[in-house]
Amino acid sequence: MRVFLSGPMGSGKSTIARLLGERLGLAVIDLDERIQARASRSVAEIFADSGEAAFRHLEADVLGELLADTQDAIVSLGGGTVTVPELRHRLLFEGTLVTLDADLDVLVRRVGSGKGRPLLAGQDIRARLTALLAQRAEAYAECHARVDTGRLSVQQAVEMVADLAGRELVTVPLGRRTYPVEVGSGVRHRIVEFLAGRRVVLVTDENVGPRWGVNIADTLRNAGSDVALVTLPAGEAHKHVRSVEAIWDQALSAGVDRHAFVVAVGGGVVGDLAGFAAATLLRGVAVGHVPTSLLAMVDSSVGGKTGFDTRQGKNLVGAFHQPSFVLADVDVLETLPDAERVAGLAEVVKSAWIEGEREVSALERDAEALRAGEPQATSDAIRMACRMKARVVTLDEREAGLRAILNLGHTVGHAIEAAQDYRLRHGECVALGMVAACRLSVRLARMAAQDADRMTALLHRLGLPTDVTPHLTDRTLSFLSADKKRSGDAVRYVLPGAPGDIELRKLPLRELASLLRM
């Protein structure tokens, strides 16, 4: 366990780090002390002699060395450490990053005269702190959680951070739009922390509603929320604009305003429809996800893609609209049919292959446990997939380039879905699409045959279909031209290599169809 404490000067980082270390039995590291030991000078002297830019460079070097050491520890960061995006994102993905905060009056009182704090030297303390907080607002927002040390006792703050560290939170860092993805048993109950007392439009479907949707709606009502429950017909066949209209109509009839919150409780279809409705309702209201399928937990609930199908293809109309939270409760998977749960593992394999050897090896090790639905193995796999997606979305939120690698297996997979009139499960089609991608990559000398065999074997061990040849019909290939990644007469195709080695390559549609048929 590694916990990084960030926040402005006066927020209590050093004190809470020391007490948290005692609470958890972990070493405590003060980054400024490490820097001073390296430079044989105080932080104030480094600023005075060399300036802030030189200090930040030294700070990055020392923190890099600290991160290379895999020991568990509590690390108290400098107030400006997280202003460097590369360092901040590394902290987010290598431990639990908590921003400590307090009201301005509290911070001013705590820093006193500002002695020993070079960024405050010789300046009006309140004005300078106000400016620093404004400059760093986006950076401080990108964290796993914020803890207000001005409103809590020191011991309460320590206990809160200890609880956060134990949750293994995933965060999608997007500045002030940063949101948490929490995975685990019973996490759906945390919805009241986000929505107690709010006006909520809860969207579910006829399959999920009776078991989970109504229960969550009642939980929110008991917490003082005004809830309008929208129950849609279940299944991909109903992922069309008429379902979106049903959400709009019921929400507006309930008198929602721009402070309302749309919540999706269901699988990927419900999430996509609710997300699009939220993106367009009153020109945009907040949305949160409580995914109830494995597929939705590892893919559609994270990243902000929303939309619906048309007769020309899948998800061809939509919008980017990031959620405010995602609560992936593995308990709800107990009621999911085995075939549905297993289908979701296709996206897990995709995620692991994008990540690299360690993640693929972990899936191979846990394949039987994952196929059986063992909770810990499933939770670990969901977190891995969400972390991967969070990293990619942070770098390319709207799929201008890199994010397209998340479509590994989807070009042919979506074509198979459309050709089969959406009778096959999305995950099953993605698995077949990944086999097709391997076949194509081998034929283009991009992938070694043994790596293609390895991916196919892993998909098979997890219970997913791998015989793609019968599906490569003229009807299926005709849907390739409807792919969202098409540009003119070519498609940006995702070609896998060894684990962690993924390439986007523009391929003419005619050549693509010919290679797939070989």
Catalytic residue among 128, 305, 314, 471: 305
Which of the residues 347, 355, 359, 428 is marked catalytic? Answer: 347
The residues, ordered by sequence, that sit 6+ positions from 134 with a Cβ below 8 Å of its Cβ are none
Q: What distance in Å separates the CA atoms of residue 240 and residue 85, rounded to the nearest whole number?
A: 39
Q: Is the sign of the CA dihedral 139, 145, 150, 156 positive or negative?
A: negative
What whole-number distance in Å separates Cα of residue 408 and Cα of residue 355?
Answer: 12
Which whole-number Å values give the CA distances from 385 to 87, 196, 303, 363, 472, in the listed order?
22, 29, 12, 11, 28
Of the candidates 34, 28, 31, the one whose C-alpha atom is nearest the C-alpha of residue 16 is 28
- The answer to whether 377 and 366 have CB atoms below 8 angstroms apart is yes
Token pair listed for 74: 């509590």
Tokens of 209: 């509603």
Catalytic residue among 128, 198, 383, 426: 426
- Quick check: is 176 catalytic? no
The reply to whether 240 belongs to the active site is no
The question of whether 399 is a catalytic residue gets the answer yes
403-430 b/e with 16+ CB inside 10 Å = b? bbbbbbbbbbbbbbbbbeebebbbbbbb
How far, in Å, CA of 473 to CA of 467, rounded?
Answer: 13
283 tagged catalytic: yes
Q: Residue 163, exposed/middle/buried by CB under 10 A (0-12, 13-18, 19+)?
A: exposed
389 is catalytic: yes
Q: Which helix (H) or strand (E) holds 170?
A: strand 170-172
Active-site pick, 387, 410, 439, 446: 410
- Looking at 138, 236, 399, 428, which residue is catalytic? 399
| CA distance to 186, 269, 320, 462, per residue, from 230 (Å) | 23, 14, 22, 35
Which residue of the set 86, 115, 176, 283 is catalytic?
283
Q: Is 414 a catalytic residue?
A: yes
Q: Which residues are catalytic?
A: 283, 305, 347, 389, 399, 403, 407, 410, 414, 426
